[in-house]
């Protein structure tokens, strides 16, 4: 069917265009014909990649191929343990990569689950239930409370119909529907009051609608198409490590070739130099780097799970750590997704209501003072809120008595059943000590006038045991005021003058400007001769009690989280389908900037071309009344400006933007399956503050990756320089091939891995985000690696030359001392790598017990090959005495000893002198 603006047309015109009957619907034969023409009402799935192809793809990475080559070399040298270790690393990384990639493309499968499995339609004049996949354009749907809408449709009948569209539009409360056509060609999705869409839920009333779109032509189908069009990109970490791997391999192979050529040119045996060169290549190429990166990220994932963040892809935490912008949905992410009464106006007082969500604990405050439960007007208003209400309040899913709930209530376990607005009123009454269950022990409901979109009010009639009946009414403030003749002030009914009415209307406007949803509350005692059958006639001469203002409030933790993001140089952007007034009010409460040009709507966004939007996107903090396409455009515009974008969301409408973002974060509790599958990380507690924890963890992991890159490469540079300089100065080989491999095993294993899980620097969340294109060697890392590698190499060679000279050419002793110097130089250096900004003694020697344990294990292994008689012949070593160790430790650890001297002696003395001088 050709796309049309169905919402602009009369329902009868839509029926005529779709050739459907408003009473009988389609015939069975016509439905079959159309089904064959347009296809089933289900979301299509792209052709899946074969699992075997995904698995084989894991072995095409450049570093993986190098590791396989290193495995073969190690096997040729007879170092089978090293070969097995390298092979295990390759297989482990391949399996992890396969699992991540295999699970990453389930978005459409999850999206299909949101489609209704069955639908009620009228065909051949009879109501029947058919599979939702068999719906066709022109089918006449019957919609009831609780139904999931099976296709996009134009309403032909709506009786008190309200639809929950949060998963599609981000609207925080149910939308009231109507059948009248709408004016204008460009009407936002959330404002199309005469349309219903696939995947949304009927929360109240009933209606009929003619199907206008099915399958991939629905709004949800278009979202599915956008998800398919989003291309996967490598994370910044993956890009940096890919560049690093190629650079390291080329550099190491060139240096090793120079060592071999230099040795051969000065007369060394070709076979001996070949073995030395190959051994040095195996040691110099940091084959442990991919494994340590994986382990560091995996441990980071475990930490995040303990902090309620579930990471679906290992690099996700690191990517979020370098995020410069977080685009967050409002409803359920920055707000609690729980309508809450915040203000009351009664007795001439503006009363503030405290408390969080549906937890029935809170206080009433006016002019800075608490209001007790003795206020008669307030008490009667709260009673009306409790009784003129069909919602239910539950704890852990079970309705309990009021007294028991007050005693044991916990914020995390309270929930409501029914309409969110009525639930908010029920909670408000409970905060004042009024529970419907308790009131109904003395009064019973004998009548109800349900809410109607035309009447804009609801009333209930209760009768007390003594026979006195009372009508309680709530609704739109202006409507309620027009039905009132008096107002209750300090327990007395006074005439509702124009002056008083004007005052109430001004308070109503004031609340509305704060984005509060306002209801008027009134009541009247009925006389004995009034007939309950004539219910509509009872709503007159009411006594006005006051106003109640409600809102979906921000999460308390979100305010703090946004402040931390500001401190960390991260911009928070709120994207919502709600109205601009609501979005602005919530943003102000959260501390987001809402000045001129910083809050725009989807309509304003549509009016901008890409160039104008690109120039303004950096200044905009709040987007209101937006559609899924808008969200995707926002994320793309930010990425084009070089930002690393995180997108948090819960609804179907968020999925394309979540997948497009550098890091997609889904809500675990309120999030739809499609958003979770499209995301890289899921927040189990739906708490925006958890994102801050993820940022901190991501920054810490990246710092740790830099730490062990610094450590591994410094050590490898030291090893290569030791051999290269010895060859250059025509010295005997200071290290044998087997010793080089042992150094690689002792120092590149446990210590490097323990360094990868080190604690974060104390100021990690006071730094600006690193540039997304920043090299992993930025901020002087190359200089630190080169200078320390040179020190390690020169120190090892110095000890070798001295030992060889003093021992009259005892090469075994000289090589043993050089061997020990190289190992201990690296083990001292691993502690220096704990922080790039603070000294070892500032961060604490024992702050990482795993590192201390790893170094102790390495020392034990090194001492074993020096002193155990059965290992000495294998490694060509000899026992060392105290003088030997004094020289080794002084050369290997002089920097650490000097740092300790400065920290523990010089600085305290300096501080003391300054204090005495002052």
| C-alpha–C-alpha distance, residues 523 and 542, integer Å | 5
| C-alpha–C-alpha distance, residues 705 and 711, integer Å | 10
Selected residue with higher pLDDT from 695 and 866: 866
- Give per-residue pLDDT as tens, 587-615: 888 899 988 889 999 889 999 998 899 99
**Per-residue b/e over 527-556, b at no fewer than 16 CB within 10 Å?**
eeeeeeeeeeebbeebbbbbbbbbbbbbbe
Q: Residue 177, Cβ neighbours under 10 Å: how many?
A: 25
In this structure, is the dihedral angle defined by the CA atoms of residues 18, 19, 23 and 27, taken in order, positive or negative? negative
pLDDT number for residue 892: 93
Q: Are 166 and 146 in contact (CB under 8 A)?
A: no
- Give per-residue pLDDT as tens, 311-325: 776 667 777 778 899
Q: What is the mean pLDDT of the chain?
A: 80
DSSP label at residue 398? B
329 is annotated as an active-site residue: yes
Q: Are 288 and 752 in contact (CB under 8 A)?
A: yes
| C-alpha–C-alpha distance, residues 431 and 364, integer Å | 9
Write out the H or E segment, with its range, that includes residue 349: strand 349-353
Q: Provide mean pLDDT across the span 716-733.
A: 82
Selected residue with higher pLDDT from 333 and 191: 191
Cβ neighbours of residue 775 under 8 Å, at least 6 residues apart?
240, 243
Domains with residue ranges and CATH for the chain: 6-45+113-229 (2.70.150.10), 51-104 (no CATH), 236-304+699-917 (1.20.1110.10), 309-335+555-686 (3.40.50.1000), 340-551 (3.40.1110.10)
Which candidate, 280, 236, 305, 243, places its Cα nearest to that of 721?
Answer: 280
Q: Are 648 and 665 in contact (CB under 8 A)?
A: yes
Q: Are 51 and 185 in contact (CB under 8 A)?
A: no
Return the top range by mean pLDDT from 219-223, 455-459, 691-695: 455-459
Would you give the distance in Å from CA 873 to the centre of its chain?
Answer: 57
Q: Provide mean pLDDT across the span 276-293.
A: 62
List beta partners, residue 155.
209
Q: Which of 152, 329, 703, 758 is an active site residue? A: 329
Write out the H or E segment, with its range, that includes residue 328: strand 325-329
Half-sphere exposure of 294 (CA within 13 A, CB side): 15
**Per-residue b/e over 639-673, b at no fewer than 16 CB within 10 Å?**
beeebbbbbbbbbbbbbbbbbbbbbbbbbbebbbb
| C-alpha–C-alpha distance, residues 365 and 651, integer Å | 36
User: For the chain, how long is the longest CA-to-CA vector?
Assistant: 125
- Give per-residue pLDDT as tens, 245-255: 667 777 777 77
| C-alpha–C-alpha distance, residues 659 and 641, integer Å | 18
Q: Are 153 and 211 in contact (CB under 8 A)?
A: yes
Where do runs of H (alpha helix) occur along 568-627? Answer: 580-590, 602-606, 610-616
Q: Provide mean pLDDT across the span 137-149.
A: 85
Q: Integer distance in angstroms from the first to the last C-alpha of the chain?
A: 87
Q: Provide mean pLDDT across the span 724-752.
A: 77
| C-alpha–C-alpha distance, residues 333 and 331, integer Å | 6
Q: Are 175 and 165 in contact (CB under 8 A)?
A: yes
Which candidate, 823, 819, 787, places its Cα nearest to that of 800?
Answer: 819
Confidence of residue 473 (pLDDT cuts 50, 70, 90): very high
- Give per-residue pLDDT as tens, 612-661: 999 999 999 999 888 767 888 999 999 988 888 988 877 666 777 888 88
């Amino acid at each position: 069917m050709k796309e049309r603006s169905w919402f602009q047309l009369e329902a009868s015109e839509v029926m005529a265009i779709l050739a459907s009957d408003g009473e009988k619907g389609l015939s069975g034969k016509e439905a079959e014909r159309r089904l064959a023409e347009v296809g089933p009402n289900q979301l299509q799935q792209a052709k899946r990649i074969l699992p075997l192809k995904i698995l084989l793809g894991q072995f095409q990475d450049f570093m993986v191929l190098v590791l396989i080559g290193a495995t073969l070399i190690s096997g040729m040298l007879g170092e089978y343990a090293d070969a097995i270790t390298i092979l295990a690393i390759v297989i482990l990384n391949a399996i992890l990569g396969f699992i991540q990639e295999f699970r990453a493309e389930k978005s459409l499968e999850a999206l299909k689950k949101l489609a209704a499995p069955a639908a009620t339609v009228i065909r051949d004049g009879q109501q029947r239930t058919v599979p939702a996949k068999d719906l066709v354009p022109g089918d006449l749907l019957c919609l009831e409370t609780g139904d999931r809408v099976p296709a996009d449709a134009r309403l032909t009948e709506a009786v008190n119909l309200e639809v929950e569209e949060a998963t599609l539009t981000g609207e925080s409360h149910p939308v009231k529907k109507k059948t009248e056509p709408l004016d204008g060609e460009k009407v936002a999705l959330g404002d199309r009051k005469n349309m219903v869409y696939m995947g949304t839920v009927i929360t109240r009333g009933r209606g009929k609608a003619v199907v206008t779109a099915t399958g991939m032509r629905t709004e949800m189908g278009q979202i599915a198409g956008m998800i398919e069009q989003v291309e996967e990109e490598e994370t910044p970490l993956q890009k940096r490590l890919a560049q690093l791997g190629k650079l390291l391999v080329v550099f190491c192979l060139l240096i090793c070739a120079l060592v071999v050529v230099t040795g051969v040119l000065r007369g060394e045996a070709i076979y001996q130099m070949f073995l030395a060169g190959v051994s040095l290549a195996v040691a110099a190429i940091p084959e442990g780097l991919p494994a340590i990166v994986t382990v560091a990220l995996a441990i980071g994932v475990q930490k995040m799970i303990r902090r309620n963040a579930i990471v679906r892809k290992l690099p996700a935490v690191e990517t979020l750590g370098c995020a410069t912008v977080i685009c967050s949905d409002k409803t359920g992410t920055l707000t609690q997704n729980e309508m809450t009464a915040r203000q009351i106006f009664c007795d001439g007082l503006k009363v503030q209501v405290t408390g969080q969500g549906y937890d029935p604990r809170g206080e009433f405050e006016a002019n800075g003072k608490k209001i007790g439960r003795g206020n008669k007007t307030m008490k009667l208003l709260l009673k009306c809120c409790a009784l003129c209400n069909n919602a239910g309040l539950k704890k852990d899913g079970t309705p309990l008595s009021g007294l028991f709930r007050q005693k044991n209530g916990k914020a995390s376990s309270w929930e409501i059943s029914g309409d969110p607005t009525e639930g908010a009123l029920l909670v408000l009454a409970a905060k004042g000590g009024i529970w419907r269950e308790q009131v109904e022990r003395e009064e019973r409901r004998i009548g109800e006038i349900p809410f109607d979109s035309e009447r804009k009010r609801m009333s209930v009639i209760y009768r007390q045991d003594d026979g006195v009946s009372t009508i309680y009414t709530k609704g739109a403030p202006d409507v309620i005021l027009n039905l009132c003749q008096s107002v209750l002030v300090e327990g007395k009914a006074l005439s509702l003058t124009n002056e008083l009415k004007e005052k109430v209307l001004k308070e109503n406007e004031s609340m509305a400007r704060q984005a509060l949803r306002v209801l008027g509350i009134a009541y009247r005692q009925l006389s004995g001769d009034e007939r309950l059958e004539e219910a509509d006639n009872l709503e007159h001469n009411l006594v006005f009690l006051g106003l109640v203002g409600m809102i979906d409030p921000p999460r308390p933790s979100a305010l703090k989280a946004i402040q931390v993001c500001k401190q960390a140089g991260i911009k928070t952007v709120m994207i919502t389908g709600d109205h601009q007034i609501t979005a602005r009010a919530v943003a102000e409460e959260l501390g987001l900037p809402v000045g001129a040009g910083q809050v725009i709507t989807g309509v304003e966004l549509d009016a901008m071309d890409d160039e104008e939007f690109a120039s303004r996107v950096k200044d905009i903090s709040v987007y209101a009344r937006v559609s899924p396409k808008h969200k995707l455009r926002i994320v793309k515009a930010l990425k084009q400006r070089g930002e690393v974008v995180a997108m948090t969301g819960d609804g179907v409408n968020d999925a394309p933007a979540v997948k497009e973002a550098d890091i997609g974060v889904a809500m675990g509790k309120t999030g739809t399956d499609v958003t979770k599958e499209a995301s890289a990380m899921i927040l189990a507690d739906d708490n925006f503050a958890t994102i801050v924890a993820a940022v901190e963890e991501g920054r810490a992991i990246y710092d740790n990756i830099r730490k062990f890159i610094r450590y591994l490469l410094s050590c490898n540079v030291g090893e290569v320089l030791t051999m290269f300089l010895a060859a250059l100065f025509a010295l005997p080989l200071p290290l044998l091939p087997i010793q080089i491999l042992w150094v690689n095993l002792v120092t590149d294993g446990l210590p490097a891995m323990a360094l990868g899980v080190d604690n974060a620097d104390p100021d990690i969340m006071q730094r600006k985000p690193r540039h997304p294109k920043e090299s992993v060697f930025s901020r002087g890392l190359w200089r630190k690696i080169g200078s320390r590698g040179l020190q390690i190499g020169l120190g090892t060679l110095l000890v070798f030359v001295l030992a060889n000279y003093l021992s009259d050419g005892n090469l075994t002793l000289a090589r043993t001392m050089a061997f020990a110097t190289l190992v201990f130089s690296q083990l001292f250096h691993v502690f220096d790598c704990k922080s790039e900004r603070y000294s070892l003694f500032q961060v604490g020697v024992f702050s990482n017990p795993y590192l201390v344990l790893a170094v102790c294990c390495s020392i034990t292994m090194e001492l074993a090959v020096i002193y155990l008689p059965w290992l000495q012949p294998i490694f060509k070593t000899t026992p060392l005495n105290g003088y030997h160790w004094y020289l080794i430790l002084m050369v290997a650890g002089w920097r650490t000893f000097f740092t300790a001297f400065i920290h523990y002696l010089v600085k305290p003395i300096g501080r003391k002198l300054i204090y005495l001088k002052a």
